[in-house]
A and B are shown apart, each in its own frame.
Chain A
Amino acid sequence: MTTATEAARAAGLVAPRARATAARPRGLSLALRTLGPVALLAAWQISSATGALTPDVLASPGQVLQAVQELWGNGQLADALSTSLTRAALGLLFGAGAGLVLGVVTGFFRLGEELLDSAVQVLRTVPFLALVPLFMVWFGITETAKIALIGVATSFPMYVSASGGVRNTDRKLVEAMRSFGLSRWAVVREVVLPGALPALLSGLRLSMTLSVIALIAAEEINSTEGIGYLMAQAQNFSRTDVLAVCILIYGLLGLAADGAVRVLERVLMPWRPTGARQGAGR
């Protein structure tokens, strides 16, 4: 250390402290993510083993595992799962699709907003559960009623996200593309939709969560198959192990939906930096 450095330090100069932005190893990040669920599972197991949680309240993890084997063995679980997943997927497809189209129309075209937005906002305030009796009257106890309910429930979050995302499109970019002779539809396809993708995907996430909730609501009432039917039966026989299986399946469905959107984010938006925080230039 030279005398000049010491003198500078003595005169009150300090070393600048940049915030450490060292990348966290992937393994550690994954371990931290699994910590929460593992802790929950451990708490469940411990309270079952110590007798704090009796089987008539909630079955132990081991019993739940046995129930899964039993239901899988006799094919009940696979049947219920495929029926429920089909309902959720169809409802989501129609609902999110309609929400996306309406959202883009109201977000991008002023006339669309003036014509549609207030009507959709009014409908949006109606709780979708209130529509269950009406759909029963309209469609009877059919698949259509269930799928329509899921569709209605999932369309609104997608609509709100899509119209918001589209409205935030870079107007200068749109102007530039118009000057290159792109049609309106081409502008939507090339600029607006890619730009709104983050909003669209967060809308999809909300819609997927709601599709599971709507699925439960639809299946709890007058179902003859599906996870909800399985649950209704288990309730009649006080099978807390089967109930726990069904609840876990709903949870896993939500988790899988979240994972699917994460993958979609990576696949659909390759231009986005993968690290959340990249340096702001050099």
Chain B
Amino acid sequence: MSATTPAVHLRGLRRVFGTRAVLDGIDLDIARGEFLALLGASGTGKTTLLRILGALDRADQGTVLVPPSRTVVFQEPRLIPSKRVLGNVTVGLPRGAATRDTGRRALAEVGLADHADAWPGTLSGGEAQRAALARALVREPELLLLDEPFAALDALTRLRMQDLVGELCRKHRPAVLLVTHDVDEAIRLADRVAVLRDGALVRDETVTVERPRDAADPEFAALRRRLLADLGVHQDTAPQHVN
């Protein structure tokens, strides 16, 4: 563990729904500028963990420390239908020409410069999600929370979006928590992957696969197999290419 202070600091985090402890004593640190992918089958509480970090849910027990500035990209774009795209990106920021300029720059970064005055209802799924990403990045967060942001996109758009997110995160260097159930996506993007199962982190390791990461890389495949085993999917030793 590095000597620098982390961006996220969790100790003994516990969250109970009914009688079931969805998160049961989580200890986790995310360094500043680090990209952590959190994997887990559905219902394992990975989104709950993200919501607690985003102050959208409360912890029942434990220490939770996060940076004051943090933003979320949800699974759905969650754009306000009555505001144009630029208005959605700069929503809640002080009004003025300077804000509009930063908003336009953020839109240009995600490749939506031409859609600044469009209504959200006219965007495609991928475009809407890119607008949501611009909205999250324009606030220059110290912690970016990504809650399965690619899950609702088609396969091609998803690959392009993953590249875009990876590139923008390297440029802006926020600490990132990506919650996903897609193992390939986690390995492609993250500096570090963690697996949540039965309320605890059963794996937490640094991704050593060299960038640009290729699924054909044997190290990639080995990590992929380990992670899938953690998630309860056991593969034959013969390599299978799903995507």
Q: Which of B1-52 contact A (CB under 8 A)?
A: 5-9, 11, 17, 22, 29, 45, 47-48, 51-52
Q: Which of A211-251 contact B (CB under 8 A)?
A: none
Across the interface, A281 reaches (CB within 8 A) one of B11, B47, B68, namely B47
Which residue in chain B gives the minimum CB-CB distance to A279?
A: B57
Q: Is the CB of A14 within 8 A of B66?
A: yes
Q: Quick check: is A8 within 8 A (CB to CB) of the other chain?
A: yes
Q: Is the CB of A17 within 8 A of B67?
A: no
User: How many residues of chain A have a CB within 8 Å of chain B?
Assistant: 22
Q: Is the CB of B64 within 8 A of A2?
A: no
Chain A residues closer than 8 Å to B29, beta-carbon distance: 4
Q: Quick check: is A282 within 8 A (CB to CB) of the other chain?
A: yes
Q: Quick check: is B172 within 8 A (CB to CB) of the other chain?
A: no
Which residue in chain B gives the minimum CB-CB distance to A1?
A: B63
Residue with the highest number of chain B CB atoms closer than 10 Å, among A10, A14, A16, A17: A16
Assembled-state Cα–Cα distance A111/B218 (Å): 64
The smallest C-beta distance from A15 to any residue of chain B, in angstroms, reads 6
Q: Contact flags (1/0) for B51-68 with A, using CB distance below 8 Å?
A: 111111110000111111
Assembled-state Cα–Cα distance A187/B203 (Å): 50
Q: Which of A22-75 contact B (CB under 8 A)?
A: none
Across the interface, B5 reaches (CB within 8 A) one of A11, A19, A280, namely A11
Q: Is the CB of B58 within 8 A of A18?
A: yes
Q: Contact flags (1/0) for B108-133 with A, using CB distance below 8 Å?
A: 00000000000000000000000000
Q: Is the CB of A9 within 8 A of B65?
A: yes
The smallest C-beta distance from A128 to any residue of chain B, in angstroms, reads 34
Q: Is the CB of B22 within 8 A of A8?
A: no
Q: Quick check: is A12 within 8 A (CB to CB) of the other chain?
A: yes
Q: Count A-B contacts at CB 8 Å.
A: 58
Across the interface, B63 reaches (CB within 8 A) one of A5, A18, A279, namely A5
Assembled-state Cα–Cα distance A20/B68 (Å): 19
Assembled-state Cα–Cα distance A6/B115 (Å): 46
Q: A8-B5, A281-B47, A282-B22 are contacts. A13–B65 as well, Cβ < 8 Å?
A: yes
Chain B residues closer than 8 Å to A17, beta-carbon distance: 55
Q: Quick check: is A7 within 8 A (CB to CB) of the other chain?
A: yes
Which residue in chain B gives the minimum CB-CB distance to A7?
A: B5
The smallest C-beta distance from B87 to any residue of chain A, in angstroms, reads 22
Which residue in chain B gives the minimum CB-CB distance to A14?
A: B68
Chain A residues closer than 8 Å to B54, beta-carbon distance: 16
Q: Is the CB of B65 within 8 A of A5?
A: yes
Q: Is the CB of B5 within 8 A of A16?
A: no
Chain B residues closer than 8 Å to A282, beta-carbon distance: 17, 22, 45, 47-48, 51, 57
Chain B residues closer than 8 Å to A2, beta-carbon distance: 11
Assembled-state Cα–Cα distance A179/B51 (Å): 38
Q: A282-B22, A282-B51 are contacts. A4–B68 as well, Cβ < 8 Å?
A: no
Q: Is the CB of A13 within 8 A of B67?
A: yes
Name B's A-contacting residues (CB within 8 A).
Answer: 5-9, 11, 17, 22, 29, 45, 47-48, 51-58, 63-68
In the assembled complex, 9 residue pairs joining A and B whose CB atoms fall closer than 8 Å, in A order, are A5-B9, A7-B5, A12-B68, A13-B67, A14-B67, A16-B55, A17-B55, A279-B57, A282-B17
Given A16-B55, A16-B64, 16 additional A-B pairs, CB 8 A = A5-B9, A5-B65, A8-B65, A12-B67, A13-B5, A13-B6, A14-B66, A14-B67, A17-B55, A18-B55, A18-B56, A279-B57, A280-B56, A281-B47, A282-B45, A282-B57
